[in-house]
Chain A
């Protein structure tokens, strides 16, 4: 596989590229889903190909092909060069890259059980057992479950001399119970909505989730939501569970810190960012207890943003994004780091396949744990709402104004979780929200959540990101407006 990449690099260099890199990827994927006692999707796929990125006359070109022959990859590299020459006709300045020494390395994430060696029969049986538990609850009208496994083998070669082989195995699973009654659809998911939990782990992740053991509870909660009280409207104290807070971090911290957005490169599609460069190391993003890192290193955990090297060959790093509430770091690439005078990329360039250009993507963007026990946090709250599991999410194109809703909520009165609430939602302005955070639970409650479906770029790319979070409390937050009349 390295040979294909090296051949492409050499062709690009001979055709005039000042810099070139190539990634040969072999992807294997398995998807299984169940619905109401039947197997839905049941498929395996493989995809192999090469993507070649070149810098010619100060401008970028990228081409990809699945023709993995010497002639195929050389044509692909020549195509990338021709594209770069066309790019150079419409440029304001030459692309410059922050320095990065070449690396020669092999990296693989640890896992216990290869999910592709666990029989499909066994995997289906787990989903059907959970399905059966959900449908045993009277009032559950739709039970769904799914598992997804990926193995990504990647060879990276650059004209600067890097040769990096990485192998990543990831797993994910989740279940959903729906209930339709009296013109209302309610839903509960476990362990998270939109596909469950995903991580850079083997099948041991699925086993640890124990889907059947939680299936009946979410079925019962989905049905009970019909008779729950409506989430009130007004300003309230809220406590978000870790999974919802993970998505809050993703949308209101992870995206605005992407330096390509800040510099206008995503203006037409994903949008820009309120975090303009003069705010670096001057903006108070949140309260002093808010500490956020972008950490792609294995020691942070087996997140979907964990790797050995990014797709520019930059080693995984930990970047302090928010330090004691102060905004201190961006996610950057070699090009964007150089553009703002930083000496080094933060190692955030990732592509979702051989046919996609690497771009700045979140790694594991995590809120560091605090010191609270969840029980103590609830006991410390006189009047509030505990919101669990995301239902909907939306934020403006500069990442200021957001609105989230959750599948379920619980009223907190005088330090106790009391009645169930349905149709919970909250909204706010990013920095005001993080400046209202006054308590974060400890590492005992901290989970590195996986978001497998982060979309960005044109052509579209879907990336997995990680978000470590523990339940946290926010004061004076607007709730309930999504259902206001």
Chain B
């Protein structure tokens, strides 16, 4: 091994005095630290911090959420790793409730002084809060519902150590394979490969104690030719479930197939939306199912609950326990998340409720509340669509003239009650004629009511875990939709 100390001395000799002055080389710097030092789960330390906060708190009711996380992301473009980052951090969020008033303070320091200061800040803020007769007392002990998965401690069923501990070298190896594929085909690759984990405990002074750990891994790639591109993306708590090279091949095929695009006139078309495109559109519905959104009359479901709204082939749940879903099985107050049927055969059936919203709206809490205090109440964060038995291939085969959409981009809400959404197609848009993909086409802008779209679904594939860029990951099918409204076309 090359003499590390020799190298240190030689570098010190070259170091200008002014820059070297404050340096005191400690054992760590001199002896060398491990090249890779993954942060480990440390449940005991999180509990120690939380317990200390409860001990220090002068409030009648105190809630503490402590989260430790470590994330790393390797980013590549132009067939080169150009950004490569890692972060580790601790997040201590303290809520106090005093006489019907509640407030929150957050810190990332763990010493008694910092914890005491955060508590004092929360107490001070709470003093100025309006008294809220609807503020529920903090919940007592809650029994978490088990997540499906491996037969081990429920709080760890979405934690995969190999995923959490992947090194920069591991990620670089995968990226090198993808970049090699691109270069070999005369294409240019850009994307990310990330991994990490978070571990959370949520406790309160009434005895509630919830915990959850979850690893994560995500791969996304755009493969480009001179005038075309293709894209693919996937995520999972288990890196073993991802196949980056297969995703890159899929993106590469799309880039090749969409060379020399034609321009097609905007208008109403039958579209075949791949799961990522469905996800990014349908994801905009999530907050409409919040009890608070309906109470505030800003949901598209206001006045529409229980009445036919979507097509009969649309059924939707919120289900954190689904095997393809991720996330903690408890909400911001520590309540166990319930599986909720949101839409059944086109009829909006149920909303989700935080405890305070449920009290206001005379409903049962569903375990979907955000951390208090907040003005938004709750939301379903684990949407699962019922799928069908079709496939993208069959949808293409049965389409006389239509558009196949890989991905949508920059989607925004134009009108909130009919849910008119605008956005662009991107990275693989194709003309389908007489049951076959004919060619790539220039990207469209759409202006489309989401409600109308979900009335016009002609076929669904089985639901899969999909990843996009506009919505959090969901379990959705590909959809064939008639009369989808493309209003303009861009220059590429």
Q: Is the CB of B172 within 8 A of A425?
A: no
B441 CB–A CB distance under 8 Å: no
Known: A184-B417, A265-B82, A397-B409. A392 touches B422 (CB 8 A): yes
B421 to A: closest C-beta gap in Å: 9
Q: Is the CB of A268 within 8 A of B192?
A: yes
30 A-B Cβ contacts within 8 A?
A: A6-B23, A7-B22, A41-B374, A42-B103, A43-B104, A44-B122, A47-B106, A60-B83, A60-B84, A64-B88, A83-B72, A83-B84, A87-B82, A87-B168, A89-B81, A89-B172, A90-B76, A90-B176, A119-B128, A120-B124, A268-B192, A392-B413, A398-B492, A400-B490, A400-B491, A427-B487, A459-B73, A483-B414, A483-B415, A484-B447
Cβ contact of A39, chosen from B19, B129, B222, B469, cutoff 8 A: B129
A183 CB–B CB distance under 8 Å: yes
Known: A14-B29, A62-B83, A391-B414. A266 touches B77 (CB 8 A): yes
A-B contact count (CB 8 A): 322
Beta-carbon nearest neighbor of A8 in chain B: B29
Which of B140-148, B204-212, B294-302 touches A? Answer: B294-302
A16 to B: closest C-beta gap in Å: 8
Since A90-B176, A180-B297 are in contact, a sample of 17 more A-B pairs with Cβ atoms closer than 8 Å, ordered by chain A residue number, is A14-B11, A43-B105, A43-B125, A59-B81, A65-B87, A65-B88, A79-B37, A83-B72, A86-B74, A161-B19, A264-B77, A269-B192, A355-B89, A395-B424, A403-B445, A423-B415, A481-B488
Q: Measured between alpha carbons, how far is A264 from B223 in the docked complex, in Å?
A: 12
B411 to A: closest C-beta gap in Å: 7
Determine the chain B residues whose CB is within 8 A of the CB of A119 once the complex forms: 128
Determine the chain A residues whose CB is within 8 A of the CB of B40 once the complex forms: none
Known: A45-B105, A427-B488. A78 touches B297 (CB 8 A): no
Q: Is the CB of A482 within 8 A of B414?
A: yes
Beta-carbon nearest neighbor of A335 in chain B: B82
Q: Is the CB of A397 within 8 A of B375?
A: no
B25 CB–A CB distance under 8 Å: yes
Determine the chain B residues whose CB is within 8 A of the CB of A13 once the complex forms: 11, 15
B373 CB–A CB distance under 8 Å: yes
Q: Measured between alpha carbons, how far is A359 from B101 in the docked complex, in Å?
A: 41
B428 CB–A CB distance under 8 Å: no
Q: Mark out the residues of chain B between 76 and 95 whose CB falls within 8 Å of any chain A CB in the assembled complex.
A: 76-90
Q: Measured between alpha carbons, how far is A178 from B299 in the docked complex, in Å?
A: 12
Q: Measured between alpha carbons, how far is A462 from B231 in the docked complex, in Å?
A: 24
Q: Is the CB of B80 within 8 A of A86?
A: no
Q: Mark out the residues of chain B between 191 and 221 whose CB falls within 8 Å of any chain A CB in the assembled complex.
A: 191-192, 194, 220-221
Q: Measured between alpha carbons, how far is A394 from B284 in the docked complex, in Å?
A: 15
Q: Is the CB of B487 within 8 A of A481?
A: yes
A52-94 interface code vs B (CB 8 A; 1 in, 0 out):
0000000111111111001100110011101111110111110
Q: Measured between alpha carbons, how far is A14 from B4 in the docked complex, in Å?
A: 9
B42 CB–A CB distance under 8 Å: no
Beta-carbon nearest neighbor of B39 in chain A: A65
Q: Mark out the residues of chain A between 192 and 216 whose CB falls within 8 Å of any chain B CB in the assembled complex.
A: none
Q: Measured between alpha carbons, how far is A187 from B350 in the docked complex, in Å?
A: 27
A142 CB–B CB distance under 8 Å: yes
A101 to B: closest C-beta gap in Å: 14
Q: Is the CB of B191 within 8 A of A268?
A: yes
Q: Is the CB of A396 within 8 A of B424?
A: yes
Cβ contact of A42, chosen from B22, B129, B297, cutoff 8 A: B129
Q: Measured between alpha carbons, how far is A391 from B413 in the docked complex, in Å?
A: 8
Q: Mark out the residues of chain B between 387 and 418 whose CB falls within 8 Å of any chain A CB in the assembled complex.
A: 409-417
A456 to B: closest C-beta gap in Å: 12
B133-153 interface code vs A (CB 8 A; 1 in, 0 out):
000000000000000000000
A2 CB–B CB distance under 8 Å: yes
Q: Measured between alpha carbons, how far is A360 from B250 in the docked complex, in Å?
A: 30
Q: Is the CB of A458 within 8 A of B105?
A: no
Cβ contact of A121, chosen from B8, B128, B488, cutoff 8 A: B128
**Which are the 5 A-B pairs with shortest beta-carbon distances?**
A40-B375, A86-B168, A45-B106, A401-B490, A180-B297
Known: A40-B374, A142-B296. A401 touches B77 (CB 8 A): no
Determine the chain A residues whose CB is within 8 A of the CB of B122 once the complex forms: 44
A35 CB–B CB distance under 8 Å: yes
Q: Is the CB of A70 within 8 A of B26?
A: yes
Q: Measured between alpha carbons, how far is A121 from B426 in the docked complex, in Å?
A: 48
Determine the chain B residues whose CB is within 8 A of the CB of A49 once the complex forms: 89, 108
Determine the chain B residues whose CB is within 8 A of the CB of A144 once the complex forms: 375
A154 CB–B CB distance under 8 Å: no
Q: Is the CB of A120 within 8 A of B125?
A: yes
Q: Measured between alpha carbons, how far is A121 from B447 in the docked complex, in Å?
A: 44
Q: Mark out the residues of chain B between 40 and 96 whose CB falls within 8 Å of any chain A CB in the assembled complex.
A: 71-90
B220 to A: closest C-beta gap in Å: 6
Q: Is the CB of B132 within 8 A of A180?
A: no
Known: A48-B109, A86-B168, A185-B416. A400 touches B492 (CB 8 A): yes
Q: Is the CB of B35 within 8 A of A78?
A: yes
Known: A75-B33, A89-B172. A267 touches B224 (CB 8 A): yes
Cβ contact of B443, chosen from A75, A396, A458, cutoff 8 A: A396
